[in-house]
Amino acid sequence: MSKSKVMGSTLIIAGTTIGAGMLALPLASAGIGFSTSLVIMLVLWALMAYTALMMIELHQHADSQATLHTLAMQILGKRGKWLASFAMMFLFYSLCAAYIAGGGAQFGERITQWSGIELSSSMGTVLFTIIVASVVVVGTAAVDKVNRVLFTLKLVAMASVLLFLAPNVTQSYLLTMPIEQGLIVAAIPVIFTSFGFHGSIPAIVRYLDGDTVSLRKAIVIGSAIPLIVYIFWQIVTLGVVSQTELLNNQGLSGLIGQLSTTVQQSNIAQVIGVFADLALLTSFLGVSLGLFEFLGDSMKQKHSSRVVTGLITFVPPMGFALFYPQGFITALGYAAIALAILAIFLPVVMVLKARQTYQIDGYQVAGGRFGVMACAGAGVVIVGAQLLITAGVLPALG
């Protein structure tokens, strides 16, 4: 396998993982401190890398063109396929709702800042959704061209933000401890969504022709790159703004405003704002395109009905954002439930079934049955935490 293909696959995994979820990390970690959030991130990274390797084990038993739905159908039957389809749609809608809620508010503020035209929060949300929907409905080629430019700008903006903030890190801020034990558990679902890349695994398997050694390398390194980026991001955000200030300025706009105020440099507010905008926009483009294509394929609509598919894709999450404009963190929490089904529970059940059905003569992820069941236990904790937040037992974040 060529090194170029392995490198490309590694970067695809890293690029898929690093998105708007990164912006939620300081908000989710505000009440638990840097050291506790670091431990959670390390554990969740290991969990997601492990279940991704389980997917590589499963792909050995299927055609190289197999998708997650194909695998679920082959190993678990129709019920498995329907569960995978439901979880995929739930995940896409939850993420779209989160990105519209976060991006709509940012978009309205940016229009006001640049043009002086006062836009209501609702109008900003609607315009933001229409612009992205227009690009997605035109087609994948349009999304690809726009996304290449935006992704390059995002990397430049991210590097600039890290360089701006790094000299202002205060060590004492990084040493703060959790102010409430319940916040530790409550932070897990949101941080978990920041490590999701499993939807790209089938494409990587096809690209690398199912070569197990290359796939393992791409997954481990590709998922480790976001982990390193996240650690630096947590250092320069949690280390620049005190725990009290973060908790008193909830929401994405509050975080950006607090970072800008604390650093007190003329350009930092614009750079941080641009980075946040690009992170939300690139993530929203990718996820909404996935949802659009998924719904279009499910409904088997003709080309002339792309507008109808677009309405079904964008109206429900936009409705959530309009009625719950501060729902960025909340929507990401609900996305964790769908992601847990897709990235943990389905691989666990399929691996257990496949090991009984097929003769093991190829790659098998280390850890045996204990490792698989440990993943299942972690999935229960993640879903349980979000359900307890919904029930009001655990404190809500953001």
Could you tell me what percent of the chain has a pLDDT over 70?
95
Tokens of 268: 């930092």
- CA–CA separation, 29 and 162 (whole Å): 18
- CA–CA separation, 307 and 138 (whole Å): 9
Tokens of 126: 């609607």
- CA–CA separation, 210 and 368 (whole Å): 22
- CA–CA separation, 64 and 13 (whole Å): 18
- CA–CA separation, 273 and 121 (whole Å): 17
Phi/psi at 251 (5° precision): 95, 160
Band (300; pLDDT cuts 50, 70, 90):
low
Buried-exposed string 79-113: b where 16+ CB fall within 10 A, e elsewhere: ebbebbbebbebbbbbbbbbbbbbbbbbbbbbbee
* 222 compared with 357, residue with greater pLDDT: 222
The answer on pLDDT for 302 being more than 60 is no
Distance of CA 57 to the CA centre of its chain: 24
The 10s digit of each residue's pLDDT in 241-264 is 888 888 876 677 777 777 777 766
Question: pTM, whole model, 2 decimals?
Answer: 0.87
* 60 compared with 119, residue with greater pLDDT: 60
**What's the mean per-residue pLDDT of the chain?**
86
3-state secondary structure of 39: helix
The answer on pLDDT for 303 being more than 60 is no
* 266 compared with 375, residue with greater pLDDT: 375
- CA–CA separation, 229 and 15 (whole Å): 11
Q: DSSP letter at 391? A: T
Band (16; pLDDT cuts 50, 70, 90):
confident
Band (38; pLDDT cuts 50, 70, 90):
very high
Mean pLDDT, residues 96-122: 82
Taken in order of first residue, the domains within the chain and their CATH numbers are 3-390 (1.20.1740.10)
Look at residues 333, 334, 343, 349 and name the one whose alpha carbon lies nearest to residue 379.
343
**Per-residue pLDDT, 360:** 66
CA neighbours within 13 Å on the CB side: how many for 283? 32
**Per-residue pLDDT, 265:** 62
Phi/psi at 195 (5° precision): -110, 20
Collect all residues with Cβ–Cβ distance below 8 Å to 188 and sequence separation of at least 6: 40, 44, 336, 381, 382, 385
**Per-residue pLDDT, 253:** 73
The 10s digit of each residue's pLDDT in 306-358 is 888 889 999 999 999 998 887 888 888 899 999 999 999 999 999 999 888 87
Band (398; pLDDT cuts 50, 70, 90):
low
